[in-house]
Chain A
Amino acid sequence: EAGVAQSPRYKIIEKRQSVAFWCNPISGHATLYWYQQILGQGPKLLIQFQNNGVVDDSQLPKDRFSAERLKGVDSTLKIQPAKLEDSAVYLCASSLGLAGGEQDTQYFGPGTRLTVL
């Protein structure tokens, strides 16, 4: 079974430029997550989708970050304009979307390493 796919794997941009990341989750997974992992820290949730609806975007800096999952499958995360502190690895994860106390294991993609100069 194919895992979570992300592209690009690496991106270098200048501050104030825009950038977009793409994620293709595991087939059949209803829930999709975007995480930001700054060097030396653990991943931090930015946004969670259930199908094509947003469940939690409380940690997303909405003045510069946006994300969409239009058809409930692929997702894009955009930063515009980028700041130096946005340098991080952006991880996409997906899960079946189980409820009712069952463990809903999240499967992560390899991430996109963003460097803002």
Chain B
Amino acid sequence: DQQVKQNSPSLSVQEGRISILNCDYTNSMFDYFLWYKKYPAEGPTFLISISSIKDKNEDGRFTVFLNKSAKHLSLHIVPSQPGDSAVYFCVAITGGGNKLTFGTGTQLKVEL
């Protein structure tokens, strides 16, 4: 049972344009969400997070949007840069704990 879903396994965007990565979840008990980025042969690294009491969180070029009623979140990267090419994991946490539930990941490729 995949509780966190990333339905796009890959996404290709031109440098300078916006990248939008989507994520859906099914468990209403999730109340904190994160995005992790992973380069080949490295472990995932934390990128940005959002609490369920907010609908937007921004950090530089990265913005995460949360729509609780739709159980949907998205990560916007603008402008996209070649160094952003990586696998992005949508991650959810339940009720103040620290058990991470990962999605399957989206491979982003930013082309020159």
Contact = CB atoms under 8 A, between A and B. Distances in A.
Interface stretch (B38-46, B60-68, B78-86): B38-46
18 contacts: A4-B43, A40-B104, A42-B104, A43-B89, A45-B100, A48-B98, A48-B99, A91-B44, A101-B96, A103-B32, A103-B49, A104-B98, A106-B98, A107-B46, A108-B45, A110-B41, A110-B42, A110-B43
Contacts of A104: 98
Interface residues of B, number: 19
Interface in A92-108: 93, 95, 101, 103-108
A45 B99 contact: yes
A109 interface: yes
Contacts of B46: 105-107
Contacts, number: 44
Contacts of B42: 110
A93 B102 contact: no
Given A91-B43, A103-B49, A42 B99 contact: no
Interface of A: 4, 31, 40-45, 48, 56, 91, 93, 95, 101, 103-111
Interface of B: 4, 32, 41-46, 49, 89, 91, 96, 98-100, 102-105
A31 B97 CA distance: 12
Contacts of B32: 103
B93 to A, nearest CB: 9
Nearest to B4: A42
A108 B104 contact: no
A107 B104 CA distance: 19
A42 B90 CA distance: 9
Contact of B100 (A4, A40, A106, A111): A106
A109 B45 CA distance: 9
Nearest to A56: B99
A115 to B, nearest CB: 15
B103 A42 contact: yes
A56 B94 CA distance: 14
Contact of A41 (B44, B100, B104): B104
Given A43-B102, A44-B102, 5 more contacts: A48-B98, A93-B43, A103-B49, A106-B46, A107-B46
